[in-house]
Amino acid sequence: MTNRLIRSPHSVLLSFSGVCALLILFGTVTAQGATYYVATTGSDSNPGTSDRPWRNPQRCTTSPIKAGDTCIVRSGTYTDTDGNGAVVWVYNRTTTPSGTASGPITIKSEKPLGAVIAVSSRNGLNTGFYVDKPYYVIEGFNISGGSNSGSSATYHGIYLTSSADGAVVRANSIHHIGRAVCSNSDNGFPGVFVKGTSSVLIERNRIYSIGRRRNGESGCSTTRYQHDHGIYVTGASNVTVRRNVIYDSNRGYPIHVYRGTTSNLNIYHNTLSGKSPTGKPTGHILLASTIRTANIKNNISTDAKSGMVVITGLTASGVSINYNMSNTITNAKGGSYSGVQFSNNFDRISTLGFVSNSTNDFRLVSGSPAINRGTTSGVPPVSDGAPDISAYEYAVQNNISSPLTPTGLRAL
């Protein structure tokens, strides 16, 4: 009995090694920070513990939060309580904590999509999250809203500024952003706005029903048909957009790269669906800026008006577009462009093999031509060693450990 409690230095060493092996196995070698909680039953003067949680997710951006900490937001609906237009505004103030590359600050819904972020409806800026400090992770939220048709109204699901370097937007559902608004406002209503940010990762989100009413929709009269994008990137660097599902985002482009200089842009394994009834805009990915090095691969596109990638006003170097699949064409305008290489794309594939287009269930069926047709080059490895051209990897698309989406679907 006593002997069991006696450890030799050797056994301690083995035990330590074992722990290290487990940590490496599960990939959890990260800075360990504190965990705080938010609940609709809480109070911002509470200590933020599990049994005495805070009230508002805004509280996740102030002391004692520090780099490496996690703020868990329990199920319920959260609003802009102080009227500044953001449900959570990560202020660019010296008193606002910054994350670091090894210790980001994570704000996360406890239950995937259980925490609802209700975007406000001021005649001005409205956004779920406005991130103006580095290394914040926004994960698992259900974000929607925006109804004011005022001429200055603008709506965003998540807004990342040039001070939000290292931001991660992961496994959120971002939808119905200003969707019932009838407006000629020049302000865009994007799902995710990446404005000058460096080192951004946008992954495994479901982004749909973005943007204002079309001309003629529910009696609306508007001349704006391409202002409201799923993901809008302008003048950013080291941007990765992967394994997102984007549909009904055709009051703008599902993925829009516009103005400024964007460098090292990676867009891969996204599923893009939907055609505007008015035929505008014409495609799913717009490249209309200066772009230095981009890799657009393993994306699948269905029902774009003209094609997947629309190029206009582009100044490019090192833009590679390959191993994409669509039921239209990859190069929407069919032109040749300096600095852009289209190759090995699968065009005019009449049946892409989704479970159900009509219910936006874009998992693949067993006979899908997208299975195992992607490139392995420059993308993370997949379980069967052969990437599918999709947000979903067929072999593991029903894995219950993957994040849930509103309709019970799962993306990697």
Contact flag: residue 386 with Ca ion (CB under 5 A) = yes
Smallest distance from Ca ion to CB 61, Å: 10
Contact flag: residue 35 with Ca ion (CB under 5 A) = no
Contact flag: residue 388 with Ca ion (CB under 5 A) = yes
**Contact of 227 with 193, CB cutoff 8 Å:** no
Candidates 11, 13, 93, 384; binder of Ca ion (CB under 5 A) is: 384
Task: Tally the C-alpha atoms within 13 A of residue 44's C-alpha that lie toward its C-beta.
Answer: 9
Report the site for Ca ion in 220-239 (rule: CB under 5 A).
none
Q: For residue 256, how far is the Cα from the chain centroid?
A: 13
CA torsion angle 168 190 274 391 (round to 10): 0
Smallest distance from Ca ion to CB 82, Å: 4
Q: What is the DSSP string of 217-265?
A: GGG---S--S-B-SEEEES-EEEEEES-EEES--BS-SEEEEEEEEEEE
Contact flag: residue 80 with Ca ion (CB under 5 A) = yes
Smallest distance from Ca ion to CB 3, Å: 52
Smallest distance from Ca ion to CB 217, Å: 30
Report the site for Ca ion in 248-267 (rule: CB under 5 A).
none
**Contact of 133 with 107, CB cutoff 8 Å:** no
Contact flag: residue 60 with Ca ion (CB under 5 A) = no
Smallest distance from Ca ion to CB 366, Å: 12
- Residue number, 142 or 250, with CB nearest to Ca ion: 142
Smallest distance from Ca ion to CB 158, Å: 14
Beta bridge partners of 288: 258
Beta bridge partners of 241: 202, 267
From 35-43, 45-53, 84-92, 105-113, span contacting Ca ion (CB under 5 A): 84-92
**Nearest one of 328, 323, 325 to 342, comparing CA atoms:** 323
**Contact of 66 with 97, CB cutoff 8 Å:** yes
Candidates 17, 45, 50, 82; binder of Ca ion (CB under 5 A) is: 82
- Residue number, 49 or 383, with CB nearest to Ca ion: 383
From 193-201, 260-268, 314-322, 385-393, span contacting Ca ion (CB under 5 A): 385-393
Smallest distance from Ca ion to CB 311, Å: 29
Contact flag: residue 165 with Ca ion (CB under 5 A) = no
Question: Residues with Cβ < 8 Å from 175, sequence gap 6 or more?
Answer: 143, 144, 191, 206, 207, 208, 209, 210, 406
User: Token pair of 258, please?
Assistant: 């516009």
Contact flag: residue 132 with Ca ion (CB under 5 A) = no
Candidates 162, 293, 315, 372; binder of Ca ion (CB under 5 A) is: 372
- Residue 109: helix, strand or coil by DSSP? strand
Beta 255-268 vs 361-364: how paired, if at all? unpaired
Smallest distance from Ca ion to CB 399, Å: 13
Q: Which one-letter amino acid corresponds to residue 80?
A: D
- Residue number, 137 or 379, with CB nearest to Ca ion: 379
User: Which residues make up the interface to Ca ion (CB under 5 A)?
Assistant: 80, 82, 84, 86, 372, 384, 386, 388
